[in-house]
């Protein structure tokens, strides 16, 4: 595996087998002890749970939350609408703000923030965004001139207590990647590139004006996004997107980005999708979200080598939970005002008994008969044509307000990826594809709530 284009070895399929046999591996294994916790969102509210799911606390009751991330001291930053809320450990609101200050906000057209994450010390927030810059062109040949625009993706930074201007020292945005996670209090791991001309994964000195250090790309499973490194620097996990979503785990034999990662484990989805992988504080367990709620895998000994498939314990818990984030703070003894606490067995369950089928996306409804809401977006056409560097409008119909993701795929690689939000009805995305001429597969899907893909073609001419 080179640092520019990695190749997953045959052992990469082991996690898939472990997911399928999770109940065989996990039965009889006690939950790991410790004072850590997993924050998550369910039914639009923020919750905390012990790592075994045996105790849960609901911190908010007003609904509308889409993601949550916790600092080492237990404070939580949660996304509600387009605003960030800093919460204490019992759900009290410490700050409520847009991360972009007024002067910057007045000069751009922002889509976001998306998936904000709190630094370990709780001082900074990183988030993804798309921004439209507009400028006048008096020489375009039309009376009164023209307005021209350019769409960019990036990662923004803010204080955890309030907004910042993008030109403020220590808070400069990083362009080209839209999925940040914190490595430590000053560095972030960036994934989810918006261009095929940069590596899929990079490491950024948060807020530094210098360009992020590009690390590697994954040729075997497609675009990498939603990534996170463990605190020990021994493992990394990403959601990968080729023909369908996959969860990919790497071992790090040396420091990043100087050393190339080693592909270890791969769990392809079948009829569903994974999201939000997050490492435990000890770096040997991984939680992520899927159709049956949260999935927790034990990856002991990752520092010494890739684990064998039959040594990977996988269990499911907390049906309906999304956006997990694992942190070292304990679950509080009681809920905040209006919140609720629950003690008892995990409200999820281990996977099926041997021979009853896989535990994975599309393997059936969550425990208790709960269903996962989906939103189907419909393209108004099946094909579009545009000159390279020109603009084309992609129209689609949304049954409800949702977030969306649009990708241009060619030869199994994502050449362009855009994200945004849309209200109900017919909506339009203006795309200016600066990609190589050719025929591209256009893939559109709702991401919150998630839904099936709608596909078409886009032909880019010279």
Residue scoring higher pLDDT (68 or 151): 68
Vertex 17, ends 24 and 68: CA angle to 5°? 90
The answer to whether residue 247 scores a pLDDT higher than 50 is yes
Query: Would you say residue 4 lies in a domain?
Result: no
pLDDT in tens, 21-35: 333 233 333 444 457
Report whether the peptide linkage leading into residue 309 is cis, meaning its omega lies within 30 degrees of zero: no
Q: Of 101-110, 244-253, 277-286, 333-342, which range is least confident?
A: 333-342
CA–centroid distance for 25 within its chain: 27
111 and 129 in contact (C-beta within 8 Å)? yes
CA nearest neighbour of 98 among 166, 183, 197: 166
Grade residue 241 by pLDDT with cuts at 50, 70 and 90: confident
CA nearest neighbour of 286 among 231, 352, 345: 231
Identify whether residues 356 and 389 lie together within a single domain. Answer: no
CATH number of the domain that residue 98 is part of:
2.120.10.30
For residues 157 and 125, give the distance between their C-alpha atoms in angstroms, rounded to a whole number: 6
Identify whether residues 78 and 172 lie together within a single domain. Answer: yes
Count of alpha carbons within 13 angstroms of residue 286, beta-carbon side: 31
Identify whether residues 123 and 261 lie together within a single domain. Answer: yes
Query: Would you say residue 352 lies in a domain?
Result: yes
Identify whether residues 276 and 364 lie together within a single domain. Answer: yes
CATH number of the domain that residue 449 is part of:
2.60.40.10
126 and 207 in contact (C-beta within 8 Å)? no
For residues 20 and 363, give the distance between their C-alpha atoms in angstroms, rounded to a whole number: 10
Q: Of 87-101, 156-170, 300-314, which range is least confident?
A: 300-314
Question: Exposed, middle or buried: residue 30 (CB in 10 Å: 0-12, 13-18, 19+)?
Answer: exposed
Q: Specify the pairing of strand 201-205 against strand 213-216.
A: antiparallel
φ, ψ of residue 156 to 5 degrees: the values are -105, 160
CA nearest neighbour of 234 among 188, 286, 308, 303: 303
59 and 94 in contact (C-beta within 8 Å)? no
168 and 156 in contact (C-beta within 8 Å)? no
pLDDT in tens, 374-393: 678 889 888 999 988 788 88
Query: Would you say residue 15 lies in a domain?
Result: yes
Structural domain range at position 384: 378-461
Identify whether residues 60 and 206 lie together within a single domain. Answer: yes
Query: Would you say residue 5 lies in a domain?
Result: no
Residue scoring higher pLDDT (107 or 331): 331
**Tokens for 72?**
């080492």
Query: Would you say residue 2 lies in a domain?
Result: no
The answer to whether residue 363 scores a pLDDT higher than 50 is no
Mean pLDDT calculated for residue range 169-175:
94
Identify whether residues 265 and 289 lie together within a single domain. Answer: yes
Identify whether residues 145 and 227 lie together within a single domain. Answer: yes
The answer to whether residue 354 scores a pLDDT higher than 70 is no
Ranges 179-183, 263-267, 273-277, 398-402, most confident: 179-183
Q: How far is CA 192 from CA 117, 302, 400, in A?
A: 15, 24, 25
**pLDDT score for 404:** 84
Count of structural domains within the chain: 2
The strand pairing partners of 430, in sequence order, are: 393
Query: Would you say residue 395 lies in a domain?
Result: yes
The answer to whether residue 356 scores a pLDDT higher than 60 is no
19 and 314 in contact (C-beta within 8 Å)? yes
Tell me which of 369, 390, 413 is where a domain ends: 369
For residues 367 and 126, give the distance between their C-alpha atoms in angstroms, rounded to a whole number: 34
Grade residue 315 by pLDDT with cuts at 50, 70 and 90: very high
Identify whether residues 67 and 206 lie together within a single domain. Answer: yes
Tell me which of 322, 343, 369 is where a domain ends: 369
Identify whether residues 280 and 400 lie together within a single domain. Answer: no
Query: Would you say residue 3 lies in a domain?
Result: no
The answer to whether residue 18 scores a pLDDT higher than 90 is no
DSSP type of residue 331: P
Identify whether residues 285 and 412 lie together within a single domain. Answer: no
Tell me which of 311, 338, 369 is where a domain ends: 369
Identify whether residues 85 and 197 lie together within a single domain. Answer: yes
**pLDDT score for 238:** 95
Query: Would you say residue 442 lies in a domain?
Result: yes
84 and 97 in contact (C-beta within 8 Å)? yes
Helix or strand (DSSP H, E) at 24: helix 22-26
Vertex 377, ends 426 and 320: CA angle to 5°? 130
What lies within 8 Å, CB to CB, of 16 at 6+ separation is 266, 267, 268, 360
Identify whether residues 346 and 284 lie together within a single domain. Answer: yes
């Amino acid at each position: 595996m080179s640092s520019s284009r990695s190749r997953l070895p045959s052992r990469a399929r082991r996690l898939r087998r472990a997911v399928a046999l999770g109940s065989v591996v996990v039965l009889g294994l006690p939950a790991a002890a410790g004072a850590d916790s997993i924050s998550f969102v369910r039914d639009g509210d923020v919750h905390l749970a012990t790592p075994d799911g045996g105790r849960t606390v609901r911190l908010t009751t007003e609904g509308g939350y889409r993601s949550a991330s916790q600092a080492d001291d237990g404070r939580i930053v949660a996304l509600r609408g387009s605003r960030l809320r800093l919460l204490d450990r019992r759900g009290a609101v410490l700050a409520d703000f847009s991360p972009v200050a007024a002067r910057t906000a007045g000069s751009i057209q922002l889509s976001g923030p998306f998936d904000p994450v709190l630094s370990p010390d709780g001082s900074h927030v990183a988030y993804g965004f798309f921004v439209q810059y507009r400028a006048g062109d008096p020489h375009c040949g039309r009376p009164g001139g023209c307005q021209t625009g350019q769409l960019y993706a990036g990662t923004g930074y803010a204080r955890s207590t309030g907004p910042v201007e993008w030109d403020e020292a220590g808070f400069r945005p990083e362009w080209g990647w839209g999925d940040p996670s914190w490595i430590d209090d000053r560095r972030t791991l960036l994934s989810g590139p918006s261009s095929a001309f940069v590596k899929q994964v990079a490491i950024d000195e948060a807020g530094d004006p210098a360009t992020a250090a590009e690390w590697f790309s994954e040729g075997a499973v497609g675009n990498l996004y939603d990534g996170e490194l463990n605190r020990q620097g021994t493992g990394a996990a990403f959601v990968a997107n080729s023909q369908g979503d996959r969860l990919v785990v790497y071992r790090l034999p040396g420091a990043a980005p100087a050393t190339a990662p080693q592909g270890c484990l791969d769990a392809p989805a079948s009829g569903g999708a994974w999201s939000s992988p997050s490492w435990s504080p000890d770096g040997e367990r991984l939680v992520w979200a899927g159709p049956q709620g949260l999935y927790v895998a034990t990856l002991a000994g990752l520092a010494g080598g890739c684990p064998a498939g039959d040594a990977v314990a996988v269990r499911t818990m907390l049906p309906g939970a999304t956006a997990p984030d694992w942190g070292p703070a304990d679950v509080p003894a009681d809920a905040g005002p209006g919140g609720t606490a629950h003690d008892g067995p995990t409200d999820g369950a281990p996977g099926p008994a041997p021979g009853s089928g896989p535990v994975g996306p599309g393997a059936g409804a969550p425990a208790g008969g709960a269903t996962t809401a989906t939103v189907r977006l419909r393209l108004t056409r099946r094909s579009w044509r545009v000159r390279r560097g020109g603009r084309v409008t992609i129209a689609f119909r949304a049954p409800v307000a949702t977030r969306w993701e649009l990708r241009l795929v060619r030869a199994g690689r994502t050449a362009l990826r855009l994200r945004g939000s849309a209200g109900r009805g017919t909506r339009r995305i203006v795309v200016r594809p600066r990609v190589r001429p050719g025929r591209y597969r256009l893939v559109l899907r709702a991401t919150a709530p998630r839904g099936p893909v709608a596909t078409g073609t886009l032909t880019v001419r010279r």
